[in-house]
Chains A and B, each alone.
Chain A
Amino acid sequence: DGGITQSPKYLFRKEGQNVTLSCEQNLNHDAMYWYRQDPGQGLRLIYYSQIVNDFQKGDIAEGYSVSREKKESFPLTVTSAQKNPTAFYLCASSIDRAGPLGYTFGSGTRLTVV
């Protein structure tokens, strides 16, 4: 079945440590996205990528980095510069940026600072 796989489901980060969240899709979608979800704040866009080797900052990119070396993969690195990384992270994809079939989301990664 086609879909988006996010791993790990739970991740713990120590202060000053970089961590990488994985996102893989087998939907052959061109565009991929990372969102952050906090209680009471809804979903906020971190980064997005329309094609391989290209990505753009979203609304809250500071302290995060991404890469898009393959169409199927869009990993997100939470760097030590992100001062409040505890949140639920969601990866999504769409056929194109205004995909007529809308967005498909993964099951999420919950990141906690310990």
Chain B
Amino acid sequence: KQEVTQIPAALSVPEGENLVLNCSFTDSAIYNLQWFRQDPGKGLTSLLLIQSSQREQTSGRLNASLDKSSGRSTLYIAASQPGDSATYLCAVFLQGAQKLVFGQGTRLTINP
């Protein structure tokens, strides 16, 4: 059974710091991996999608990497801002089961 784990569960840092959020998965037979942002009481906003053949994707201050062999992905946020405060979720799409499996998220707080 595919398990997706995100560490840490919560993170609080001062504004301006660069930070890394981690996501690990147990089954490397994935089709793609997607990072989402969720604000309190809101839906999910897609941040980055990495296909299984790719190593990384970048969007603005965000960079996501994927290492299938080790079952890991990282989301790097540069020059963090208070507006980055949210819960960040990673999800992998399984080739076999044909479904998206989510981690439980990292709750990020950026302090002014």
A102 touches B103 (CB 8 A): no
- Is the Cβ of A110 less than 8 Å from the Cβ of B41? yes
Beta-carbon contact of A106 and B46 below 8 Å: no
Which of B13-21, B61-69, B77-85, B92-100 lies at the interface with chain A? B92-100
Q: Within the assembled complex, what's the spacing in Å between the Cα atoms of A41 and B98? A: 21
A45–B100 CA distance with the chains assembled, in angstroms: 8
> Taking the complex as formed, is B76 at the interface, i.e. its CB lies under 8 A from any CB of chain A?
no
User: Is A58 located at the chain interface by the 8 A CB criterion?
Assistant: yes
Q: Is the CB of B46 within 8 A of A102?
A: yes
Within 8 Å of chain B (Cβ to Cβ): is A68?
Answer: no
Q: Indicate whether A104 reaches chain B with its CB closer than 8 angstroms.
A: yes
A13: chain B residues within 8 A (beta carbon): none
Say yes or no: A102-B34 contact (C-beta < 8 A), given A40-B104, A58-B99.
yes
* Residue of A42, A58, A97, A106 contacting most chain B CB atoms (<10 Å): A42
Task: Pick 10 A–B contacts, CB within 8 A, sort by A.
Answer: A42-B103, A45-B99, A88-B41, A90-B43, A90-B44, A98-B32, A102-B34, A103-B46, A105-B36, A105-B45
Residues of A near any B CB (own CB < 8 A): 6, 33, 40-43, 45, 48, 58, 88, 90, 92, 97-98, 100-108, 110
Which 9 A-B residue pairs are closest in the complex by CB-CB distance? A105-B44, A107-B43, A102-B49, A42-B104, A43-B102, A105-B43, A102-B34, A108-B43, A42-B102
